Structure 1
Amino acid sequence: MLTSEAHAPIRAPPAPRSIEAPRMLMPDASLVAARRRRSLIAVLLCNVLEWFDFAVYGMLAVYLARAFFPGDSAHVGLLATLAVFGVSFVMRPLGGLLLGGIGDGRGRKPALLVAAGLMAASTFAIGLIPAHERIGMLAPVLLLAARLAQGFSAGGEWGVANAFLLESAPLGRRGFATSFMAATVALGSGLASALTAALVGFLPAAAMESWGWRVPFLLGGVLGLVALWLRTGLDETPVYRGEAGTAVSAGEVLRRVHRPMLTVFGLTMHWTVCFYVFLIYLPLFTQKQGGLSPSEANWANTLSTIAIMLLVPLVGHLSDRHGRRPFLMASCVLILLLTLPALWSIANIQGFALTAAIELLLGASIALYSGAAPAVLVELFAARDRSRWSSVAYALAAAVFGGFAPFIAVWLTGALGSPLAPALYVIAASATSLVTIWHMPETAHAPVA
């Protein structure tokens, strides 16, 4: 025994136990929760700004037309302003391709930082561009340049931010987590409606036309800088950190992504057309055809966006339990049934209470889609493709069908001589998306990798 003990390896005595050791090995739970809250706010705030900018542009289109496209015909000026709104969507697929590529190749965080910086700068620019009467044709050119930069940023923002939320979500809560992307759409639009209604209601007409329309864009620029600062503290998602990138041919990538891209394209048609017709164009429609004042039109729109904002997380939560497809299909069917009667009632019966009730009903129908769709758009792709190709497919559909929706609505009304003509565009988009949903797989319970 003495010999064996003499030759036994010498071992250090065990370290004394301490109740403080776990705190040294594990981060404080409150700090982790605080970082998660900051990450969530950082991702969502810029999306609020994106939709605030796009909504406020449409709602202030009449003032923008007078500032940048003055002329003998107010109708032509309005069409030119809405055309700039639509042309900016041409940049969205390019933004999705490049910024989404950064998100898949270098990480979600770098792409989110670039998107926030571009959005803040271009929003400030719109608020600062001198009017046509001061710098002539340079004014609309600068407006177009700022809108193109916004479109580029927005094209990458959606897919990267949506992928970040999906990959950071707890198990079984992906629909709930990503639904906040759609909730921020409603929040941004609602803020735009409320601010526009307040400005129009409190400022004299001359002040609104001279400088009042610039206020929302300047405030939006400040919001963008705050979002950029918050995003500097983001942590990369665990799913992306665990993704091992391997070089593959372009043909292999296309074979891998073409089917989910077509599905996302078809899904987005209903969503983007409904959003831009009912939340951007409808305030103009209710003024021209429904007899509402600008303030009443924007307040009615604000109520609709509040309903969407409140319902979307609930629908996202329910879609985690019951699947995405039932809610997507219900939204399409409701819009198919409601659109024509809704526009007819606004134009022929009129009145603020009726219009607000109709917009609330349309908003609830959109919420059924908006709560479930964000998760589907990224669940269809693998992690190595998720940011880029979901962004490109979504942006292409938004550019083709959504960006020009207000322009098409105004053009159809004039071409067909009927205020109900825009309903045909909405019905066609909803029917196409319904067919797409019927043939797509359920993604709610499939693993994310």
Structure 2
Amino acid sequence: MRKLFIITILMAATTVVYAKCRNVFVEMGYQPAQVDAKLKEVFNDVFRGPNKVYFEVGDSMGYVSDIKNHDARTEGMSYGMMIAVQFGEKDIFDRLWRWSKKYMQHQSGNREGYFAWSCKTDGTRNADGAASDGELYFITALIFASNRWGDNTGINYKAEAQHILNCIQPKEYTPEPRKGGFPGFGGFGAQQQGPQKMYLIDPETKLITFTPDGFGNRYTDPSYHIPAFYEVWAKWADDGRADLWKVCAQKSREFLHKATHPVTGLNADMCQYDGSEMQMPRWPGMPQPKPGEKPRRNGSNNFRYDSWRVPMNITLDYEWSGADAEWQRGYGERIQNFFYSQGVDKFVDQYRPDGSLPEENEILQAGGFRKLRHSIGLVSTVAAASIMCKHAKSKEFVDALWNAKHEPFEDGYFDAYYDGLLRLFAFMHLSGNYREIIPQK
């Protein structure tokens, strides 16, 4: 009896406190046991199965790899940490954090506290610069780890989050020679001379940058806008900037109103801070249009890989804060209506924001292929938006995700990494397992 009492006390002491989220799968007729088994299966596909993207290194580290690009990215590392803390996988979380801190995070210099966005799987940096969404996820995942496990189990999670928050504040710096720029944009930063400003959040608009320095801090990526994360920082970061983070959350919501098309709900991959189309500079030496030639459209103004995340990010804010619920419900039905019009099992993964198809030279390639596909990553995020929707169509999207097979296409293309992670996030959302983790009492 005494032993049972002790076990009960220990279980109570480790019970995690969550904000409640809906299990949409169960609401739509799936059995709870089915949903639990499916969620476990999808998690194992990413972390433990034959097509896993998570790999352990020695006794204490691990990384998530973008297999098709042979690297580890702050995107995948921070996603992995967020998933691990949601599932209570402390060993995975700690391994990913140790690898990120050792190989990715700058410990001194201009970029102190920031993370090199891409490394080889042996830890060698492919680039020194940061992609701002990585920092966003690292901070939030660390705060949740502090809330869930405390800060006395070997890693002071709260202190690590606060260190990044302190380092991302605006500062002036002198550019260092660039090592491997961000894909497609590495040369632009090199064009700027003299002292520059570095900041994760643009100090004027309070919107997140595409990259915190160089050309990348002149514009933004709609998929980096996750107002719910700023609300988490305001509640539990304890960094003295709660009012700032609340403003950032509201500004991101206002931005998303402007950045999403009023009819289709689609958004550009990247855009200006006012939500308008991305204006790319034409640097000296770049080819000029020939007389009478139609200028090439900037493909960054299309809905494509990064853009897929926006429906799920808006869903997250709808679930966690509800601060913009009326607009978000309308957005959810608007974007599902568009994809429904394209065919629930047929829509492709890249469009112009008005819903027209891109020309061939606008299509962003992946894994050596330049091709439009019915990608499971987008199937996943559009299905996740069902949480916001009241129309009957939403069940068709949920069923399509449930029944979709994550397997190679006929031509051999397979993305275990990005498609796999977005699929897992969507199953977490729709099963009620992507939640705010509240500090233990």
TM bracket, shorter-chain basis: under 0.3
TM-score, length of structure 2 as denominator length: 0.26
TM-score, length of structure 1 as denominator length: 0.25
Q: Which has the higher helix share?
A: 1
Q: Which has the higher strand share?
A: 2
Q: From the CA coordinates, give the structure whose radius of gyration is larger.
A: 1
Structure of higher RCO (CA pairs closer than 8 Å, 6+ residues apart):
1
